[in-house]
């Protein structure tokens, strides 16, 4: 019986020291949002952000003139001079953006442009999947890569490999 107690004591000690605490397990990352002015509309359950709106999520910084944030769905709809910087050398611009809360996705609308050294892609809209590190462009897509122009209805760009699929 004494050996069993020692065994259980050692086992439980090792078990608790080797397994990380629940708090240390990575929780979903939350975006940081700031603006010049913020108001809350109780009837819609949305925050309205006005002036120099900035959303920081990991290595992505998105800036826009104003935005609406759904407190329940955790979506951020922004418009006006949308600029998104991903890391040091990837830049998007658009008329509007939907940042989908805790999911690794963003949708850009209206005069979308991606710029990276040696590459420019323009389209009507784009869907970003940050988990897969891809951006799919839709509608009158024009790609200029190292001086070569390509026109398509849709086009997928691999961010990590820096190439058009």
Residues (pLDDT < 50) of the chain are 2, 4-26
DSSP string spanning 61-111?
EEEEEEEEEETTT--EEEEEEEEEEETTTEEEEEEEEEE-TTSSEEEEEEE
Task: Give the count of beta carbons closer than 10 Å to the beta carbon of residue 107.
Answer: 17
Domain that holds residue 123: 29-164
pLDDT at res. 102: 65
Please tell me the distance from the alpha carbon of residue 41 to that of residue 27, in angstroms, as a whole number.
Answer: 29
6 found inside a domain = no
User: How many independent structural domains does the chain possess?
Assistant: 1
| pLDDT given at position 28 | 56
pLDDT score recorded for residue 20: 45
The pLDDT value recorded for residue 71 is: 77
Looking at residue 14, what is its pLDDT?
Answer: 38
Residue reference for tokens 């970003």: 128
Q: Mind listing the pLDDT tens digit for each residue in 63-87?
A: 999 999 987 878 899 999 999 999 8
Query: Domain with 113 in it: what CATH number?
Result: 2.60.450.10
4 domain-assigned? no
Question: Is residue 7, in this structure, part of any structural domain at all?
Answer: no
Distance CA 92, CA 28 (A): 24
């Amino acid at each position: 019986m004494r050996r069993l107690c020692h065994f259980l004591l050692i086992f439980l000690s090792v078990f608790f020291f080797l397994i990380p605490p629940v708090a240390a397990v990575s929780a979903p990352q939350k975006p940081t949002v700031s603006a010049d002015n913020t108001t809350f509309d109780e009837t819609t359950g949305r925050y309205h952000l006005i002036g120099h709106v900035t959303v920081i999520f990991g290595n992505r910084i998105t800036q826009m003139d104003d935005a609406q944030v759904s407190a329940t769905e955790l979506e951020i709809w922004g418009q006006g001079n949308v600029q998104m910087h991903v890391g040091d050398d990837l830049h998007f611009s658009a008329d509007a953006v939907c940042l989908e809360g805790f999911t690794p996705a963003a949708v850009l609308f209206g005069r979308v442009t991606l710029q990276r050294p040696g590459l420019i892609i323009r389209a009507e809209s784009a869907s970003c999947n940050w988990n897969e590190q891809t951006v799919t462009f839709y509608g009158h897509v024009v790609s200029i890569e190292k001086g070569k122009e390509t026109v398509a209805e849709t086009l997928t760009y691999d961010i990590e490999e820096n190439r058009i699929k």
